[in-house]
A and B are shown apart, each in its own frame.
Chain A
Amino acid sequence: MSNRAERIRAALAGGRNETWHGTETLRRALLLGVGLVVVGVIMHLVELVLIGAPLLISGVLAMIAPPAGEPKVKVTPPPRTAESADTPSVVVEIEPSENAELLAIRLPSQGVGGPGRVHLLPATVLRISAPLRRKAWGEGVDVRVDHLLAGPEGMVVHGPMVGSDMSRTVLPPLDKLPVGPLPPRPAGLVGAHRSRRPGDGVELRDIRPFQPGDRLRGIDWRISLRSNNNELYVRERHATADADIVLALDTRSDVVPELADWSVSLMGATVRPGGSMDTSVRAAVSLAASYLRLGDRVGLVDLGRPQLGLKPGVGRRQLLRLRNQVVVCAAAAGWSASPVLNEHQVPHGAVVVVLSPFLDDAIVQVAVHAARRGNRVLAVDVLPQQLIADKTDRWGEAVRRMLLLEHSARLTALRDRGVAVMSWSDGASIADLLRRVRR
């Protein structure tokens, strides 16, 4: 029992990997070296002696000056949160043991996702800098410095030691959108958008007779002098206000153009590059950046997991918070059967932007219910433009056409119920649509 406990304790502490220990190569060198030389001498077979001699010499050399001491590997981690355009590097400092000759270390490699490959380097290297390549946004691990130090010819080794995972979050990239006008439903007291109520904005709302309480600087003297009734007239302007935008992200499905891949789980990544989730997230953060720049309040709703939502807020911190939150939403995506968007999640009068591939009727109902509650709803379709049928299935083309017909019917239903629908193709079309909706 005590032996077992000791073995478990040793395994948890790293076991023999934490000390220098011999390998099969050392056993081979000593066994064959001594064996061949001794047998050769006894049996007078000089060839055995000559073949065994190099092994014996290399084994003896390895044992005469064995590596000693505990090597240390120190990692300077890159920032935990990064932009996808960043090209950071991880720096590893090594204190090798005396007489160590080879260093096998796992470092980020070009063209390889995750912590990278093991590199065989001379143990004389004391400091290594490895560039990190981050081509996809999301959470992940791109540094885990597993390492092993070896003596001559790998006869004695220290390790392999498993490094600790260094996770990071690469934020979704921001596509620059034209600063578009917003549908006329601003909710705040101040801001950049024209409000329905009168105020101190720029746009003319009305010209009316002067009333007690009006400011004198509001009097339009030209019109007052021209009038025949000797009354003063004032120019009334629209107030300006900010708006609440709620980005509703449909995280229940992530589909790519190839229909055959829809039911195939993706290994090693949470989001398919170029898929509907990728497009949704990029669109959401780009819209958020665009509206936050105008001073509007932007919030997030995860239709699949309502608890992951983010209340509307303003400013650069809100944008950073939102970009981090969409990464969390994408990581937890794909588990909910039906979307949830109730009145508690959406402030009164807010503009709701539903980003979805619209692959089921439930999402249409959710969008329509939001519109009926009085919110202005925009539907952004993120289904890939060209769907490719499964060629291995004889029903593949029929399935594709059926899907497209159903999808088209859903978008028509949305339009019929007053929901503005657009496809996320380019910024110009989005600005155009917003302009049309505003009118």
Chain B
Amino acid sequence: MTMELKPGLSAWWLRAAIAVVGLAVLGVLELHGLGFPLMIVFLVVIAVTVAIPSSPGMTVLIGGAAVATAFTDGNTVSVAALLLIPLLHMGHVLAGIAGVLPIGARLHLSAFRRPLRRYLLIQVAVLTLAAVALVLPAGRIDPIVEVAGLLAAAGIALVALPRR
């Protein structure tokens, strides 16, 4: 079947969505008590990510936000962390797609159907895991279980790493 090409939406909407996600992350961090100097740093990182989505800007934003949340909260799951999980994942997806497009590109919404479905499935899985983590009692875990977990994560990484 032949698809008749329609004008589509401007790719600026994708960058605008990255900016919105970035600012939402910044808002969550601000509510979480992030200091003003770090806010400025995050703002610059967001600006770089919006301007050059294929740059490591989003990596810095996700890493920085995760570290800022985790190290100020301790080992319990806070509301800020629960908000950041879908936001940072969304930022990762949007930056990934925007990174392969030139600035004047046109978007066709049908292209986002499969990424959106996968995003929702992953979020359901991760938020279920978060619900389980909220239910489980906090405290030290048996070292054997920890080592087993680490080995499992290392195994996943080995499977996932590119062979070339």
Q: Are A47 and B70 in contact (CB under 8 A)?
A: yes
| Majority-rule SS of A interface residues | helix
Checking A50, A120, A152 against B105 with a beta-carbon cut-off of 8 angstroms, the contacting residue is: A120
**Residues in A neighbouring B156, C-beta threshold 8 A:** 34, 56, 60
Q: Are A34 and B78 in contact (CB under 8 A)?
A: no
Q: Are A122 and B110 in contact (CB under 8 A)?
A: yes
Interface size class of A (residues with CB under 8 A): 35 or more
Q: Are A118 and B104 in contact (CB under 8 A)?
A: yes
Cβ-based interface call for A374 (8 A): no
1/0 contact trace for A43-55 toward B, CB 8 Å? 0111110111111
Q: A24-B99, A54-B89, A122-B113 are in contact. Are A41 and B105 (CB under 8 A)?
A: no
**Residues in A neighbouring B130, C-beta threshold 8 A:** 50
Checking A26, A48, A131 against B66 with a beta-carbon cut-off of 8 angstroms, the contacting residue is: A48
Checking B73, B89, B125 against A47 with a beta-carbon cut-off of 8 angstroms, the contacting residue is: B73
Cβ-based interface call for B3 (8 A): yes
Q: A47-B81, A51-B88, A55-B89 are in contact. Are A109 and B106 (CB under 8 A)?
A: yes
1/0 contact trace for B35-77 toward A, CB 8 Å? 0000000000000000000111011001101110111011111
Checking B93, B126, B162 against A153 with a beta-carbon cut-off of 8 angstroms, the contacting residue is: B93
Q: A127-B1, A152-B115 are in contact. Are A24 and B108 (CB under 8 A)?
A: no
Segment at the interface with B among A100-108, A375-383, A431-439: A100-108
Q: Are A48 and B70 in contact (CB under 8 A)?
A: yes
1/0 contact trace for A27-69 toward B, CB 8 Å? 1111110111110111011111011111111111101100000
Cβ-based interface call for A157 (8 A): yes
Q: Are A58 and B2 in contact (CB under 8 A)?
A: no
Cβ-based interface call for B160 (8 A): yes
Cβ-based interface call for A117 (8 A): yes
Q: A37-B153, A153-B92 are in contact. Are A57 and B125 (CB under 8 A)?
A: yes
Checking B69, B100, B146 against A41 with a beta-carbon cut-off of 8 angstroms, the contacting residue is: B146
Interface CB pairs A-B, < 8 A, 11: A23-B54, A24-B54, A29-B92, A32-B59, A32-B66, A42-B146, A47-B70, A48-B66, A58-B89, A126-B1, A154-B96
Binding site for B on A (CB under 8 A): 22-32, 34-38, 40-42, 44-48, 50-61, 63-64, 91, 101-104, 107, 109-110, 117-122, 125-131, 148, 150, 152-155, 157
